[in-house]
Structures are given as structure tokens and as C-alpha cells.
């Protein structure tokens, strides 16, 4: 087990290459599980949460000795923020006060949250669209944990969960998409004006949800969207995955067709958007995270349509994580005021894009 005083950070898997990555940034599978004989987290009795965390800590390090395990109550806030920004834990898991923890692999592609909304939230991630690999990985980890833990399960309802919307398979499968063309709205007559509405409508017909970058209740900043299944009861896992795979080809086709149409009919405006983003990102002396994400989104489009060379998607994805508040403060080694973060963020982005960042 790793030393909790100086734990290794999970790897930046998002910076790796993946299939269909011009549109599909990343994929995730998450299973919700609860331990039989314990109350749901919202109904814990005195000391029950602490006992369960200690028990699951032992189980997880036995399942995979390479796991780093952190009890979040004893973890510095900045490190908790870094884990959130790398999608290892949820925002709710960071801000909660009850006994809770997380186990994660060194490469950052797997994490298990303990005592989040459910006793266990098992997650696997990958760059681009690669659901077949992820379902094999999450099923394997689920089986290995299930060999040591009695899950709350009934033949009629499947896996029992704190929220009824997760009961059944307990599976949430999601992909993060970059849809700048479908979101493009220079005026009411251009292609893409109603594109996101079409995506929402098509997803809804298949029982899918469209949300922002960090899932439920989050906004779609920088034209990044998550599409995931909503129904887990009465549907096998294969159907949830199949529904998503049925919807994605049309979304990818829409986005690519509109990118091509915009480049043909409005190339100067697209070039101006992309190169203005480059100019600001490589010259700004202070920049907020929201503005930086919006400009990195435009730059990402420029890379995908081969308008900009010398910068890869991996660099942009790395910056999308490294420029977040937790990462900036960990890099600085101290807590930073928002205005100071804006200065450090601008320097990091400039140095990275211009090739002068030694880290």
C-alpha cells in the first residue's frame, strides 16, 4: 500500500490516444454496488460508515495490491481537488464529511469510491470510444470484489442501490463528446444552430441523457457533453451499452458533416475563431478557467480539422486538466487566490503551447 502522506497521483490517461477521438474525448463505465448487512450510506448508524470504510479498504487492497487507497477525511483538500479534476472522485465525494475513501490505479484508468452515494462506485475510464475494453475491465474488477463481498442483490430487482434510478444493473455507461460544430451559432441561419437540440431529442428517444462535462447537474462548458444511459432496472447491461452505441454514429456523423460544411461555407470565420484562440492562449497574462476551456475547445477544433499543426490532442487534453484550480495549487505548492491562479494558469498555457514548459 502506498504511503498516504505522499501518494502517487493517478496518471493522465486522458492525454493518451483513442478511437474516434476527434469527437469522442473519452469513455467511462461505472457500477454502483452496496454491501449486504450494512445500511445505505444515507441511513448509516453511529460508527457504521467508519467500520464499512475500514472493511472495504482491506478488501480493495487485497483485490489489487497496486491500488493506492486514500481516506478522504485525512487527505489534503488540494489533493482531493486534483482527484476530482482527474475524474477519480466526484465533487460530492470531495465535499462530504462522513468517513469515505477512494482506491485508484497508478495509470488513473480505474477508481473505486467508498461510501459515496453507494458503498462502492467502481469506475473505469479510457480515451476515445472503447466500450468493449471498458466493459471487460469493469466486469473483471466487479467479479473480483464480489468474490470477497456479499452485494445487496435480489433476483427480482437486481443490485440494490441508494437511489432507485441505479437499481438493477447499477451500470452507468457514458462518453464525453466535443461538439463545437453542433453548438456553432454565429447566426440563426447557419448549420449547427439546432444541432444540440437534435442530439438531445435523439438521445431521449433511446433513454439516454445529455449532460455537461462532469455529469449530472453540470453545465456543458467548452462544448463538451456527456451522453449516458438513464435506465438500469429491467434492462441488461448489454442493452444499455447497445443503446449508446446505436446513438453515437449519428451524433458523430452530424458533428463531422457540420464541421465540413462550416469549413466549406464559412472557413474564414472558423479560421478566425481558431487563430484568435491561439493568439489569446499564447499571449494572455491572466485567464480564468472558463475562458481557457472555451479557447482550448476552439483550439481543439482547429487541431481536428488540421488547421493547426505542432499541437496534438494530448497536449490540449493535458492542459484541460492541468489548468484546473487543484492542479495549479498543487503545482505551486500552496493555496492560491483566484486572481493568482489566473496568472499561473496563463503562464502554464503559454509555456506549454509554445514548447517552453519543462514539466
Residues 155, 116: Cα–Cα separation, whole Å = 25
Domain ranges for the chain, please list them: 1-16+27-168, 174-263, 267-353
User: Does residue 218 have a pLDDT over 90?
Assistant: no
Give backbone dihedrals phi and psi of 261, rounded to 5 degrees, phi first. -65, -40
Least confident of 184-188, 323-327, 341-345: 184-188
Torsion of CA 76, 346, 26, 231, to 10 degrees: 70
pTM: 0.89
- Percent of the chain predicted with pLDDT > 90: 74
Per-residue confidence (pLDDT) for residue 164, from 0 to 100? 84
Q: What pLDDT shows up at residue 185?
A: 63
Name the residue with higher pLDDT: 190 or 30. 30
Q: What mean pLDDT, rounded, does the chain reach?
A: 89
Residue count of the chain: 359
- Whether 51 has a pLDDT exceeding 90, the answer reads yes
Q: How do residues 330-355 score in pLDDT, each as one tens digit?
A: 999 999 999 999 999 999 999 999 98
Q: Is the pLDDT of residue 4 over 90?
A: no
Determine the CATH number of domain 1-16+27-168.
3.30.590.10
Distance of CA 340 to the CA centre of its chain: 26
Read off the pLDDT of each residue in 130-144 and give the average, rounded to a whole number. 95
Please compute the mean of the pLDDT values over residues 305-323 and round it to a whole number.
95
8 versus 68: the higher-pLDDT residue is: 68
How sure is the predictor about 189, in pLDDT bands with cuts at 50, 70 and 90? very low
Query: Which candidate, 312, 327, 316, 313, places its Cα nearest to that of 292?
Result: 316
Q: How far apart are alpha carbons 168 and 154 in whole angstroms?
A: 9
pLDDT of 190: 43
- 239 pLDDT more than 90: no
Q: Are 15 and 121 in contact (CB under 8 A)?
A: no
Contacts of 89 (CB under 8 A, 6+ apart): 72, 80, 83, 102, 111, 113, 116
pLDDT of residue 246: 85
- What pLDDT, in 10s, does the model give residues 255-312? 999 999 999 999 999 999 999 999 999 999 999 999 999 999 999 999 999 999 889 9
More confident residue, 209 or 312: 312
Q: What are the pLDDT digits (tens) for 87-122?
A: 999 999 999 999 999 999 999 999 999 999 999 999
Distance CA 121, CA 171 (A): 10
How far apart are the C-alpha atoms of 330 and 79, rounded to whole Å?
Answer: 7
User: What confidence score (pLDDT) does residue 264 get?
Assistant: 95
For residue 127 the three cell numbers come to 480515451
Mean pLDDT within 6-26: 93
Amino acid at each position: 500500500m502506498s504511503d498516504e502522506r505522499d501518494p502517487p497521483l493517478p496518471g493522465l490517461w486522458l492525454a493518451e490516444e483513442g478511437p474516434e477521438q476527434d469527437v469522442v474525448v473519452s469513455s467511462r463505465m461505472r457500477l454502483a454496488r452496496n454491501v449486504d448487512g450494512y445500511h445505505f450510506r444515507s441511513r448509516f448508524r453511529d460508527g457504521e460508515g467508519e467500520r464499512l470504510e475500514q472493511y472495504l479498504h482491506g478488501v480493495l487492497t487485497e483485490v489489487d495490491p497496486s491500488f493506492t487507497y486514500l481516506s478522504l477525511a485525512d487527505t489534503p483538500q488540494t489533493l482531493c481537488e486534483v482527484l476530482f479534476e482527474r475524474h477519480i472522485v466526484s465533487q460530492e465525494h470531495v465535499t462530504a464529511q462522513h468517513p469515505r475513501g477512494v482506491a485508484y490505479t497508478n495509470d488513473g484508468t480505474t477508481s473505486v469510491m467508498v461510501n459515496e452515494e453507494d458503498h462502492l462506485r467502481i469506475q473505469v475510464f479510457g480515451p476515445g470510444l472503447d466500450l468493449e475494453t471498458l466493459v471487460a475491465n469493469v466486469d473483471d474488477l466487479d467479479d473480483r470484489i464480489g468474490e470477497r463481498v456479499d452485494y445487496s442483490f435480489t433476483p427480482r430487482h437486481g443490485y440494490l442501490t441508494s437511489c432507485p434510478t441505479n437499481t438493477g444493473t447499477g451500470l452507468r455507461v457514458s462518453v464525453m463528446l466535443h461538439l463545437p460544430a453542433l453548438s456553432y451559432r454565429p447566426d440563426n441561419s447557419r448549420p449547427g444552430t439546432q444541432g444540440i437540440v437534435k442530439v438531445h431529442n435523439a438521445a431521449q428517444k433511446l433513454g439516454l441523457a445529455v449532460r455537461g462535462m462532469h455529469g449530472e447537474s453540470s453545465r456543458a462548458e467548452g462544448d463538451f457533453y456527456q451522453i449516458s444511459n438513464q435506465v438500469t432496472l429491467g434492462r441488461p447491461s448489454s442493452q444499455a451499452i447497445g443503446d449508446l452505441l446505436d446513438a453515437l454514429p449519428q451524433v458523430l456523423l452530424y458533428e463531422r458533416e457540420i464541421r465540413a460544411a462550416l469549413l466549406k461555407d464559412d472557413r474564414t470565420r472558423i479560421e478566425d475563431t481558431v487563430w484568435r484562440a491561439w493568439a489569446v492562449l499564447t499571449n494572455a497574462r491572466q485567464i480564468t478557467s472558463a475562458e481557457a476551456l472555451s479557447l482550448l475547445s476552439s483550439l481543439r477544433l482547429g487541431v481536428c480539422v488540421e488547421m493547426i499543426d505542432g499541437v496534438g490532442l494530448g497536449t490540449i487534453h493535458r492542459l484541460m486538466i492541468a489548468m484546473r484550480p487543484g492542479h495549479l495549487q498543487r503545482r505551486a505548492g500552496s493555496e492560491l487566490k483566484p486572481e493568482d491562479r489566473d496568472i499561473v494558469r496563463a503562464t502554464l498555457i503559454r509555456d506549454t503551447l509554445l514548447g517552453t514548459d519543462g514539466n
